[in-house]
Amino acid sequence: MTINLNVNGKTETVDAAPGTPLLWVLRDHLKMTGTKFGCGIAQCGACTVHVDGTPTRSCVTAHDSLGDAKVTTIEGVTGKAADAIRKIWVKNDVPQCGYCQSGQIMAATALLAKNSNPSDDDIDAAMSGNICRCATYMSIRRAIKETAG
Amino acid sequence: MFLHDIGIIPGGTKSGAPTSDHPAILNLSRRGFVAGTSLFVVGVALVGCSSYVEPKIDPNAIDLPKAGPSPLMEVKGGDATPALWIAIEENGAVKITCHRSEMGQQVWTSMAQIVADELEAEWDKVEIVQAEGHERYGDQNTDGSRSVRYNFHRLRIAGAAMKQMLIEAAAVYWKMEAADCSASQGLVSNNQNSDTLSYGNLAKLAARLQVPEESNVALKDPKDWRYINKEIPSLTIPRITRGEGTFGIDVDRPGMVYAVVARPPQLFGKTGAVRDTATLAIPGVLQTVKLPDPSSPAVFQPLGGVAVVATDTWAAIQGRNALKINWIDGPNASYDSDTFAEQMKQTARRSGAVRRKRGNVASALASAAQKIEAEYYAPHLSQSPMEPPAATAEWDGDKLECWACVQDPQATRQTLSDLLKIDKKNITVHATWLGGAFGRKSKPDFVVEAALIAKEVGKPVKVTWTREDEVRHGFYHSVSAQRLEAGLDADGKCTSYLHRTVFPPIASTFVPGMDVPTDGEMGLGATDVPFAMPNLQVESGNAKGHVRIGWLRSVSNIYHAFAVQSFAAEMAHAAGKDQKDYLLELIGEARTIDPNAEGATYPNYDASLEEYPIKTARLTNVVNMVSDMAKWGRKMPAGHGLGIAVHRSFLSYIATIIEVAITPEGALTIPGVWLAADSGTVINPRHARAQMEGGTIYGLSNALFGEITAKNGAVVQENFPSWRVLRMGEAPRAFEVQIVNSNSAPAGVGEPATPPAAPALTNAIFNATGHRIRTLPIIGANGSRLILPTDTSARGKE
């Protein structure tokens, strides 16, 4: 079934089975592998993208449920919050292996866009859905606060 | 100065760049050449107002004796021949080969720091080339926290040798002594004037020179290091923030199809009748492939089962869900981890095999003024890197090419050769970036799956493990039961110490029926115990493996440090003394320990005890450091407690203090962690601190929540809800790391922070509540709080 998706401001035509999660459409059909698979059940946040600006688990979001919603991935996320997050992530060497960081950056960007000066509790609440096994949690917390401060 | 300018502007063009059409001009003697072109060049120089223009070297135009074989193949750590590690391109790009796998420990950056420092390369010209799996690189097994330790010397030699060859090349070109030239930041300078030649320009000429002998390679004085031991930014992270970089799961090949595998729930269970009609009816599913049943020992064989191949991963997963497979019970069908735990505890109560002995523990225990004993249990764990195993394989006739997130591309290649019965020369294995590994990706079973399926399908195949696959079909951290006994004298001083450890060895994965803890595992925190009491005995008890047992970040150190460092605090409590003071008393005076002198067979992480002795002073030092950092002994608020642990592993000395805060209802938070690390020479202190934080949290996650259990031979947990890992909101609010400034030989960084985490935490819980944790996990997958005993008389006894 052919469907048009708005991904990073571009119209992408995809032909995937009905109900196929956005994650696999991005990765396997559009070859945009920046969005990662971690658990497949919305538990780890590695697959986080923005749908109309809201952080969304692409692994449980059917691609054919999106209509003309705007999908933004790590490859395409821009703007003041994203620029600030990328900059501090690089300056502080926040990631380790980096695998979960697409999701972390998408979640942190959405947090910062909504709340320019988040507290530790705000950060924990916004970021606890994103698992990092390298445990960059403290680095992420410090970096978000530094960006805000 | 004009003369110098004249002399090095061959060809007489304004740009100074000769073309290959005029190589002969370089064969002129320097003097003759200058004379022949001076007029024109002087004119240029005048017009250019003294601006120096570097000449382009034609490397083939210079006669050189034929270079012999490299004398640097046998240096410590292996082949240090510069050409193996460094390629300098004409545009000045310095390509450094990294033969170790990048999995977040920043090995790309650290290897490059070592080479580029001695090479005097400009950092922003450095690029990394990831090596394929090949013996020419020496050991590529990226585990054991030894990438720097194994490669520090050889990569320094390689970088320094290359620098010397570049200097020599410039000297040849300038027809002067190399001693009158020097190299800095990508340029060789003529010290008699201000002329320079860039590395990119000199590289091809340098490549024709003889590689110097090791004895003639001068390494930098550490005070002159510009990258080593400096906080150089990561080479991978800028790409990560843009979603770039290729992990194993990201590999794409033309015409590639996607596969997932349904595996037997039990190790050595077999695949019976398969009904795949519903599977094949799912849109996108292309075919199913039955994989061979494995036979004991497991080694790195795939587990068998049925692969579903489809046009995308989702269709393959849907197809797998629709499979009807009759799994046939195997020899592990009766394995129940709860029952087995009781058996192991019983074993730990009986005398075991003596693995280290000092004095006479039995008689000392019998005559002790006070005797204490404790039993500890720790469960199986899963490594669970965020990127699950994933591999892509492609056949071209009898040639096989694989791309995968493997910690050891050489072992992968060897395993493929052994199991697929093809010559290694027909196999290429590319290591991608690894989205975490923690030991899981040192086992290449998933790559063999990809190769088997791709052969059957006739197309490139990517096999992706779902999280459920990773949790249920892993190589698990070994379950363990331990018993410790100690005798204290009337002053509370420890006079005797018995440690008995029981666990299925990793060797059970490789040797059928193997149930004896190996010297290697015993040396991870048991036989290398650094305590000074006059009577000491370390014993092991046997246990069989029923699932695949494998390495997990810091391996047996996890359960050994948990038991030994918890018991140290229990002894302190029995003696009525402060945990830290008693720990220092147990460690005793500054000395060097050799477990081999007391009957142990101690591998010392494959390092010599001469180069890497066990020094108690280094333990004491980190204990004192971390105590200062955490202000040990300060008055704590109600419900708060500090706990301490110290442990040497991977040749590093780590002391950790954790503060817990526990509400009367048992809600547990971690306000702070302090860690002091002595890892010898550290290549990148910032990245080392990150490893210390990460290694600690990994240990805390395991201790608080981690538990893999088995029923009927099958792992019970499935995904992150039932296999629980620590999240942001559960992470410590403050974390301070100090790295000892040391010029000792480099030791491990990736793993050694993990072992002291669990006992520092349980010791803190004891100090906060009086409740002694001897069984892990502390909270578990479903818990939300610490279960405290309601009867206060049970405190400290459990």
d(CA B93, CA B91): 6
- CA triplet B763, B766, B772: central angle to 5 degrees? 95
Residues B405-438, buried b or exposed e (16+ Cβ, 10 A)? Answer: bbbbbbbbbbbbbebbebebebbbbbbbbbbbbb
Same domain, A85 and A65: no
Cis amide leading into B504 (omega within 30): no
CA distances from B352 to B277, B349, B536, B596 (A): 54, 9, 14, 19
Q: Sorting pLDDT into bands at 50, 70 and 90, what band is A1?
A: confident
Task: Give residue A6's domain range.
Answer: 2-72
pLDDT digits (tens, 9 = 90+) for A90-141: 999 999 999 999 999 999 999 999 999 999 999 999 999 999 999 999 999 9
pLDDT of residue B789: 64
A7 interfaces chain B, CB cutoff of 8 Å = no
Q: Cβ of A17 and B314 within 8 Å?
A: yes
Distance (Å, rounded) from C-alpha B665 to C-alpha B577?
A: 28
Name chain A contacts of B315, Cβ cutoff 8 Å: 17, 20
> What pLDDT was estimated at residue A41?
98
Q: A32: domain CATH number?
A: 3.10.20.30
Q: Indicate the residue of B243, B318, B384 with minimum beta-carbon distance to A74.
A: B243
Compare CB distances from A20 to B233, B249, B314 and report the shortest one's residue: B314
B342: three-class secondary structure by DSSP: helix
At B694-742, the pLDDT tens digits run: 999 999 999 999 999 999 999 999 999 899 999 999 999 999 999 999 9
Same domain? For A7 and A67 the reply is: yes
- Find the length of chain B: 798
pLDDT value of position B50: 62
Calpha distance B604→B612 (Å, rounded): 8
Give yes or no for a contact between B539 and B482, defined as CB atoms under 8 angstroms apart: no
Q: Are B348 and B518 in contact (CB under 8 A)?
A: no
pLDDT at B28 over 70: no
Cα–Cα dist A78/B511, whole Å:
54
Q: Cβ–Cβ of B693/A132 closer than 8 Å?
A: no
Number of independent structural domains in chain A:
2
Give residue-wise pLDDT tens across range B80-129. Answer: 999 999 999 999 999 999 999 999 999 999 999 999 999 999 999 999 99
Closest chain B residue by Cα to residue A22: B314
Nearest chain A CA: its distance from B249 CA (Å): 9
Q: How many other β-carbons are positioned within 10 Å of the β-carbon of residue B38?
A: 17
Residue B370 scores a pLDDT above 80? yes
A contacts of B313 (beta carbons < 8 Å): 24, 27-28, 37
Q: Are strands B94-98 and B86-88 parallel, antiparallel or unpaired?
A: antiparallel
In what helix (H) or strand (E) does residue B139 lie, and over which residues does it extend?
Answer: none
- Indicate if the pLDDT at residue B796 is higher than 70: no
Tell me the pLDDT band of B35, cut-offs 50, 70 and 90.
very low
pLDDT of residue B10: 30
Distance from CA of B574 to the nearest CA of A (A): 35
| Structural tokens at position A74 | 């790590």
Predicted confidence (pLDDT) per residue in B455-508, tens digit: 999 999 999 999 999 999 999 999 999 999 999 999 999 999 999 999 999 999
| B497 φ, ψ (degrees, to nearest 5) | -145, 125
Q: Which residues contact B426 (CB under 8 A, 6 or more apart)?
A: B398, B399, B400
Asked if residue A105 and residue A143 are part of one domain, the reply reads yes
Nearest residue to B500 via CA among B520, B515, B514, B486 = B486
Q: What pLDDT does B51 receive?
A: 82
Instruction: Mutate one of B462, B728, B737 to test the A interface: name it (highest A CB count within 10 A).
Output: B728
When the candidates are 3.40.50.150, 3.30.365.10, 3.40.50.10140, 3.60.150.10, the CATH number that belongs to B254-331+389-464 is 3.30.365.10
Rounded (10°) angle between helices B579-587 and B557-575: 110
* Residue B179, C-beta contacts closer than 8 angstroms, at least 6 positions apart: none
Residue A135 shares a structural domain with residue A87: yes
Q: Which of A72, A94, A119 is the last residue of a domain?
A: A72
Say which residues have a Cβ less than 8 Å from residue A19's Cβ, sequence separation at least 6. Answer: A62, A64
A93 CB within 8 Å of a chain B CB = yes
Residue A98's contacts (CB-CB under 8 Å, 6 or more residues apart) are B104, B236, B237, B240, B245, B433, B435
Is the predicted pLDDT of residue B6 greater than 70, yes or no? Answer: no
CATH class of B353-381+475-794: alpha beta
If you measure CA to CA, which chain A residue comes closest to B731? A137
- Please report, for the domain that includes residue A117, its CATH number: 1.10.150.120
How many angstroms separate the CA atoms of B46 and B72, rounded? 47
Which strands make up the sheet holding B86-88, listed edge to edge?
B86-88, B94-98, B126-130
d(CA B775, CA B367): 29
Please give the DSSP secondary-structure letter assigned to residue A121.
H
Q: What is the pTM of this model?
A: 0.93
Write down the H helix ranges in B137-244.
Answer: 147-174, 199-207, 237-240
Average pLDDT (B376-389) is: 98
pLDDT tens per residue, range B572-628: 999 999 999 999 999 999 999 999 999 999 999 999 999 999 999 999 999 999 999
Q: Is B237 in contact with A93 (Cβ distance < 8 A)?
A: yes
- What is the distance in angstroms between the CA of the first residue and the CA of the last residue of chain B? 85
Q: What is the DSSP letter of B775?
A: B
What confidence tier does B404 reach under pLDDT thresholds 50, 70, 90?
A: very high
What's the CA gap between B316 and B307, in Å, rounded? Answer: 9
One domain for residues A85 and A131: yes
For B82-240, CATH gives 3.30.365.10
Three-state DSSP state, A22: helix
Whether residues A43 and B696 touch (CB distance < 8 A) is answered with no
Secondary structure class of B305 (helix, strand, coil): strand
Residues A6 and A53 in one domain: yes
Phi/psi for B24 (5° steps) reads -60, -25
Domain with CATH 3.30.365.10 in chain B: 82-240, 254-331+389-464, 353-381+475-794
In sequence order, what are the residues at sequence separation of 6 or more whose Cβ sits closer than 8 angstroms to the Cβ of residue B14?
B44, B47, B48, B53
Q: How far apart are CA A118 and CA B743, in angstroms?
A: 41
